[in-house]
Amino acid sequence: MSPTTHPSFRNPRARHNFLGRTCSITGVGSYIPERVLTNADLEKMVSTTDEWITSRTGIKERRIAAANEFTSDLGAKAAQKAMANAGITADQIDLVIVATITPDMPFPSTACLVQRKIGATRAAAFDLEAACSGFIYALEIGQQFIMSRTYDTVLVIGAEKLSSIVDWEDRNTCVLFGDGAGAAILQNRPNSHGLLTAVMGADGNKSELLFMPGGGSKCPATHDSVNARLHYLRMEGKETFKNAVQAMCTAAQEALRRCEIDITRIKCIIPHQANRRIIDAVADRLGATPEQCFINLHHTGNTSAASVAIALDQAIESGRIQRGDLVLLVVFGAGLTWGAAVIEW
């Protein structure tokens, strides 16, 4: 019997590890801001068309946070929904991890601000930065704390207010991104469904493909840096596209290999929602059918670290994912970074 058809496909960690621990996702939640920015709206802002944006990306509209709504607000709202779905209260949370490239401010961490907003007074809190791959990185790190018996309940959030770092005069990038947040509660639940495996990767040699030059220690904010528009994200779209397809395929295949399953066992693939053409190319190379992929980017645009977290919540809420289904998350982002995870929901 080949490894891909063996009935014991489950990674042993899913049932329990040698400490008797299992990491389950007991609740998810998401929040997207009310304001909708359509492609027709963008036609009035930059030289673009709905036809160009739709045919090149699949995006029709994206959500934009209000002026007084910050990444921590989006994250807190997603967290409250995840807590309700998991049936837990804030005082049960041991750790808050927020994945973001748009923190409310350089410090304190957005995780500390979320901790205050939701009243998770017992929790430790920190941010992590892996761009669009952040939610998978956060899932894997959160899982490690659960499996090592350090914590019993971890709140993992991907949250972004990308509208705050998008250059609204640059048609190459401003049509792509949106704001939002998604969250998951990880808990030790012996002999339950769980996070079967997570894969993470990075290649800093290609960091110049997608970056924001200003605002850090290399280029602190000055009048000159603002005038030179250095506090906005920059991207080489074509090269990013090619690297995304390759890295997402590699990460997905590694995650499947570790679980000893093939792609046909996956009920729902939740890819990073950056570009419909990237998703189609990845699905094709993995041998997946278009029906296996969950897509919401036409409504959300690319929400970076929040992307797969929002999609996971919407897929569950819409009934697309049922209890017991195997779900593959696969991501790619600046860094470069990438990752994949297999969940038994």
Q: Is 272 marked active-site? A: yes
Closest-CA residue to 69 (of 120, 19, 134, 113): 113
Nearer to ligand ACO, 274 or 329 (CB): 274
Residue whose Cβ sits closest to ligand ACO: 237
At closest approach, how far in Å is the CB of 155 from ligand ACO?
23
Residue 48 engages ligand ACO in binding (rule: CB under 6 A): yes
Q: How far is residue 136's CA from residue 325's CA, in Å, rounded to a whole number?
A: 19
Closest-CA residue to 184 (of 343, 12, 21): 343
Q: Is 205 marked active-site? A: no
Q: How far is residue 206's CA from residue 12's CA, in Å, rounded to a whole number?
A: 35
Q: How far is residue 277's CA from residue 294's CA, in Å, rounded to a whole number?
A: 14
Exactly one of 24, 102, 300, 304 binds ligand ACO (CB under 6 A); which one? Answer: 304
Residue tagged active-site, from 23, 272, 293, 299? 272
Residue 210 engages ligand ACO in binding (rule: CB under 6 A): yes
Residue 143 engages ligand ACO in binding (rule: CB under 6 A): no
Q: How far is residue 18's CA from residue 148's CA, in Å, rounded to a whole number?
A: 10
> How many residues lie near ligand ACO (CB under 6 A)?
24
Binding segment (CB under 6 A) for ligand ACO, from list 33-41, 51-59, 118-126, 322-330: 51-59
Residue tagged active-site, from 11, 16, 112, 132? 132
Residue 102 engages ligand ACO in binding (rule: CB under 6 A): no
Q: How far is residue 338's CA from residue 304's CA, in Å, rounded to a whole number?
A: 12
At closest approach, how far in Å is the CB of 128 from ligand ACO?
14
The DSSP letter of residue 3 is: T
Q: Is 249 marked active-site? A: no
- Whether 194 and 327 have beta carbons less than 8 Å apart is answered as no
Closest-CA residue to 167 (of 108, 107, 211): 211
Point out which residues bind ligand ACO (CB under 6 A).
48, 52-53, 56-57, 131-132, 171-172, 175, 210, 237-238, 240-241, 244, 274-275, 278, 302, 304, 332-334
